[in-house]
Amino acid sequence: MGQLWVTTSKRFGSGRRNMASKAEKIVAGLGGIENIEEVEGCITRLRTEVVDASKVDEAALKAAGAHGVVKMGSAIQVVIGTDADPIAAEIEDMM
């Protein structure tokens, strides 16, 4: 019998390139990779901890596709929808 491969993650093929591109834009909006201490995908949000919250550019995050941004001191949540987990994985790969 032949082999059957099923891929459900958007991290493969052109979907992965799109996730990587979106992740790069989100990183820029968060003040650059050096400003990100921690990132975690949580269903529809990226939960991040940043070094300097004043470097976070909410307009850039929204231009990158964020539906909203919640700031609580150095804790930043970026509401991006169901792509949160694969985008978090892309950002972790950059760190």
What percent of the chain has a predicted confidence (pLDDT) above 90?
Answer: 77
Tell me the C-alpha to C-alpha distance, in Å, between residue 75 and each of 30, 43, 63, 88, 95. Answer: 11, 17, 20, 15, 18
pTM for the model? 0.80
Question: What would the pLDDT profile of 36-72 be if each residue is shown by its tens digit?
Answer: 999 999 999 999 999 999 999 999 999 999 999 999 9
Annotated catalytic residue within 33, 42, 63, 75: 42
Average pLDDT, whole number, for the chain?
88
What does the pLDDT average to over 14-28? 84
Over range 21-49, report the average pLDDT. Answer: 96
Residue 16, pLDDT score: 64
Residue whose entry in the numeric block shows the structure tokens 């269903």: 43
Active site residue 42: yes
CA proximity to 51, closest of 76, 87, 70, 26? 76
Q: Which domains does the chain have, with CATH numbers?
A: 13-94 (3.30.1360.60)
